[in-house]
Amino acid sequence: MLIFCLDSAFRNSVRRLPKNTLSIQFYSKCSKVSRYTSYNSRHHFHFKNGDHVTNTVLGNFRRYASTYDSKDSKKDKNAPKILVENVKGTVLVPSHGLKTKVFKSFLPLRQSKRDCFHPGVSALDRTSITVGNEKDVTGKDMIKAMLTYIWPHDDKSIRNRVSVAVGLLVSAKLMNVAVPFLFKYAIDDLNSKVATANNGQALLDFATPADAVLTTSVALLIGYGIARASAAGFNELRNAVFAKVAQNSIRRISKNVFLHLHNLDLSFHLSRQTCALSKVIDRGSRGINFVLSAMVFNIVPTVFELALVSSILGLKCGGEFAAVALGCVGIYSAYTLSVTKWRTKFRVFMNKAENEAGNKAIDSLINYETVKYFNNELYEAKRYDESLKKFEDASLKTSTSLAMLNFGQNAIFSSAMALIMVLAAREISQGNMTVGDLVMVNGLLFQLSVPLGFLGSVYREVRQALIDMKTMFTLMAKEPEIKDTPGVLPLVLKNDKSIEFRNVCFQYVDGKPIFNDLSFVIPSGKHFAIVGGSGTGKSSMIRLLYRFFEPDSGEILIGGQDISMVDLQSLRKSIAIVPQDTVLFHDTLFYNVHYGDFSKSEEEVYNAAVMADLHDSVKSWPDGYKTQVGERGLKLSGGEKQRVAIARAIVKDSPILIFDEATSSLDSITEQHILNTVRRATKGRTSISIAHRLSTVMDADEILVLENGKLRERGTHDQLLNLPNSLYNHLWQLQHSVGLEEEPKRKVDSAKQG
Ligand SMILES: N[C@@H](CCC(=O)N[C@@H](CS)C(=O)NCC(=O)O)C(=O)O
């Protein structure tokens, strides 16, 4: 095998790759034609500056690179070099420095003795690429990602809301801090009046009610009430204004994750449980909501209030006061965080025990009859009680540790309050402060204790939310391995709609090849059938055509264009499929047919239904096209579902049509109807019928018989059947002798006449 680095001119003209992008292709030698030109493309790698290279890509890269034929490379001393370091390292890519000198044609890369290519790297103009398994998402990354949602560049109204919410937050805290001040001034005013009264003058002049209201201290006390109410009002307003920001960001992130999941490769989805993925989205977006709310409603306002209170105390009462306030909050926080960390495990046990008890109860009640058959009611109750006991113990520990936490928090704050008031009393006795000041200091500190009373819970929940967010953002950082390269051109199908497999080798797991140098051409407009025993890769062929997977080597061409070089959307648009297992959406029948292409008119949907032999039966149903098909199409029979799938494929109106075992689970009468619709639908299209039952593909223009990943034989039904030693003949005899088919030939003949 050889490794080639693409010429930069080729890179720019054919693929329109941007600068700083290196495209590397591995070519297999299996066709043994002349070097440099006729090697079969084996794999493409595109690296660009800052690209994230997954372990799988790196693994493939190494795999291809390690089988590189070093004899060929020695001929070119100027070959560009690539350094592949460890997973967390970098790939150093030669770029413009060498362009004019050696990037004139395909160039072999040199391989060193180790698993890397490196001589002369220092002389190169480098572009570095970070390499990692799944990008490690740090706290900084998450904050950055969150900021893009709460400060979106493309949504001014959200930015305005955030600004207003911040303004309201500051106003609420200023009002909050004003409360003890107003209280202080009222007390000082009253005090001075008491002092005046003690000197023999009237305490208050309540000659008229208006005078009474206007008295300074009364006005201050009313102001106190207004300030308290305003602080609460600003807080509530802030919540209302910010709610839209939080909900909007949850919506956008959920949508982005959803889209991202759809963009990930099929291999990813085959290896994950859909339910687990939806939990990731759900928990992750709830985590974002929690972190955002905690920041905006608790952490940031409390920090702001602490800064405000300690500055006021420092400026008005002296450094000692500020030090007590800050020290108190510091000790309080350290105590709260350490106790919360310790007691979190009790909550985890508690939740586990609760789930366990719930599961045992459900399992036991579901198996009601079995429990009765074996007289095991008491045993079941004992098992259930064991989990309840665990829950009880953990709950007790949670409650007692909560009491301890609350008491400790209270003790710390009370000590600080006592200390600060002793300081204030000392200052009063020295004539530096008033009684009002003492009340103000007490009020400021007391108010601070309210949000801090939930510090432990906030810390615990934020930690959990960050873990959930990390899982979600890690999922977001996962790159699909099959994706469009920038500037890639769309697949254009005019007259030539042929399909060609050229020396395709493919395997899901090492050592178990699915296709082994498979080559065939399906000419434009022809209906070909692909048959073979199970496990011969019939369905893998579809996955390769849709580019859900890439061949390990060789090329697949549609209309003469290599599908690995064309835009994925255009490729998938040009193929319509009637899958083996038709899965319908939980919606109406019309919706399910229209799903083939939502841009099509109602009329076109009905026409497709007529072609698929679906229209008449739908018309006879009470709700017609508005019939709900039931979750995953469970309410429809197998034949009806297949017809919906055919109608949907007709609506899509692609030049290439694939039937994947379209009649596999149908009775013979329904099968004949479906085969008739298949015949109608394939007219004028290049089509492939993948089938296990040979009788369903007898009238194909040509039949390709696969065995062990290779094309074993090809021909029309009659040609293949007339070869006594053909695999087709053998399969045919086998299927009929075991009674898989009754009178297949007669069925097809009658269908043709029909
Ligand atoms: N003061 C404690 C407790 C605050 C509190 O009462 N939290 C509520 C939830 S907002 C609770 O139910 N906590 C139960 C627990 O922490 O076990 C702290 O800072 O965490």
Residue 81 pLDDT more than 80?
no
Residue range 196-251, pLDDT digits in tens: 766 665 555 544 544 554 578 888 889 999 999 999 999 999 989 998 988 888 88
What burial class does residue 516 get, using C-beta atoms within 10 Å of its C-beta: 0-12 exposed, 13-18 middle, 19+ buried?
middle
**402 touches ligand 1 (CB under 6 Å):** yes
Looking at the domain assignment, is residue 443 inside a domain?
yes
Residue owning tokens 């008739």 = 676
Task: Extract the runs of DSSP E, i.e. beta strands, from 335-494.
Answer: none
Q: What is the pLDDT of residue 666?
A: 65
Residue 517 pLDDT more than 50?
yes
Identify the H or E element spanning 411: helix 377-429
Looking at the domain assignment, is residue 33 inside a domain?
no
Residues 645 and 583 in one domain: yes
Residues 524 and 417 in one domain: no
Q: What is the pLDDT of residue 483?
A: 84
Residue range 7-23, pLDDT digits in tens: 333 333 233 334 444 55
**464 touches ligand 1 (CB under 6 Å):** no
Residue nearest atom 13 of ligand 1, based on CA coordinates: 457
Residues 418 and 354 in one domain: yes
Please count the other Cβ atoms lying within 10 Å of the Cβ belonging to residue 472.
Answer: 25
Looking at the domain assignment, is residue 36 inside a domain?
no
What is the CA(322)–ligand 1 centre distance, in A? 27
Least confident range from 86-90, 339-343, 415-419, 687-691: namely 86-90
Q: DSSP 3-state assignment of 214?
A: helix
Q: What is the pLDDT of residue 278?
A: 80
What is the CA(139)–ligand 1 centre distance, in A? 25
What is the CA(456)–ligand 1 centre distance, in A? 7
Q: What is the pLDDT of residue 749?
A: 45
Q: Specify the number of domains making up the chain.
A: 2
Q: What is the pLDDT of residue 512?
A: 81
Residue 100 pLDDT more than 50?
no
Gap between the Cα atoms of 629 and 550, Å rounded: 35
Gap between the Cα atoms of 227 and 176, Å rounded: 7
Residues 506 and 406 in one domain: no
- 605-634 b/e with 16+ CB inside 10 Å = b? bbbbbebbbbbeebeeeeeebebebeeebe
Q: Of 477, 510, 531, which closes a domain?
A: 477
Ligand 1 atom closest to Cα of 406?
A: 1
Q: What is the pLDDT of residue 142?
A: 83
Gap between the Cα atoms of 524 and 648, Å rounded: 22
Residue 262 pLDDT more than 50?
yes
- Rounded to the nearest 5 degrees, what angle is found at the Cα of 705, between the Cα atoms of 701 and 711? 110
Looking at the domain assignment, is residue 46 inside a domain?
no
Residue nearest atom 7 of ligand 1, based on CA coordinates: 457
Gap between the Cα atoms of 339 and 400, Å rounded: 12
Least confident range from 126-130, 281-285, 473-477: namely 126-130
- Rounded to the nearest 5 degrees, what angle is found at the Cα of 381, between the Cα atoms of 376 and 384? 125
* Identity at 316, one-letter amino acid code: K
CATH code assigned at 261: 1.20.1560.10
The CB-side HSE value for 435 (13 A sphere, CA atoms) comes to 9
Residues 331 and 237 in one domain: yes
**67 touches ligand 1 (CB under 6 Å):** no
Gap between the Cα atoms of 503 and 511, Å rounded: 18
Q: What is the pLDDT of residue 225?
A: 93
- Residue scoring higher pLDDT (215 or 117): 215
Domain boundaries, position 447 = 139-198+211-477
Residues 440 and 559 in one domain: no
Gap between the Cα atoms of 318 and 424, Å rounded: 10
At 371, the pLDDT band (50, 70, 90 cuts) reads very high
Residue range 548-558, pLDDT digits in tens: 999 988 899 99
How does DSSP classify residue 6? -
Residue range 678-725, pLDDT digits in tens: 777 777 889 998 888 888 888 889 999 988 888 889 999 999 988 888
Residue range 323-352, pLDDT digits in tens: 999 999 999 999 999 999 999 999 999 999
Gap between the Cα atoms of 168 and 175, Å rounded: 10
Looking at the domain assignment, is residue 48 inside a domain?
no
Gap between the Cα atoms of 548 and 563, Å rounded: 12
- Tell whether the torsion through CA atoms of 614, 619, 621 and 626 is positive or negative: positive
Looking at the domain assignment, is residue 22 inside a domain?
no
**686 touches ligand 1 (CB under 6 Å):** no
Q: Of 477, 512, 539, which closes a domain?
A: 477
Residues 472 and 511 in one domain: no
Gap between the Cα atoms of 527 and 383, Å rounded: 62
**398 touches ligand 1 (CB under 6 Å):** yes
Residues 248 and 383 in one domain: yes
Ligand 1 atom closest to Cα of 343?
A: 17
Residue nearest atom 8 of ligand 1, based on CA coordinates: 457
Q: What is the pLDDT of residue 123?
A: 24
**642 touches ligand 1 (CB under 6 Å):** no
Contacts of 591 (CB under 8 A, 6+ apart): 585
Residue 131 pLDDT more than 50?
no
Residues 462 and 504 in one domain: no
Looking at the domain assignment, is residue 114 inside a domain?
no
- pTM for the full predicted model: 0.67
Gap between the Cα atoms of 15 and 369, Å rounded: 66
Structure token pair of residue 149: 């949602």
Looking at the domain assignment, is residue 463 inside a domain?
yes
Residues 517 and 636 in one domain: yes
Cβ contact 541:709 at 8 Å: no
Residue nearest atom 15 of ligand 1, based on CA coordinates: 402
Q: What is the pLDDT of residue 494?
A: 84
Residues 269 and 403 in one domain: yes
Residues 465 and 588 in one domain: no
What is the CA(169)–ligand 1 centre distance, in A? 24
Please count the other Cβ atoms lying within 10 Å of the Cβ belonging to residue 47.
Answer: 22
Please count the other Cβ atoms lying within 10 Å of the Cβ belonging to residue 131.
Answer: 22
Residue 191 pLDDT more than 70?
yes
**546 touches ligand 1 (CB under 6 Å):** no
Q: What percent of the chain has a predicted confidence (pLDDT) above 70?
A: 76
Ligand 1 atom closest to Cα of 336?
A: 19
**302 touches ligand 1 (CB under 6 Å):** no
Gap between the Cα atoms of 194 and 202, Å rounded: 9
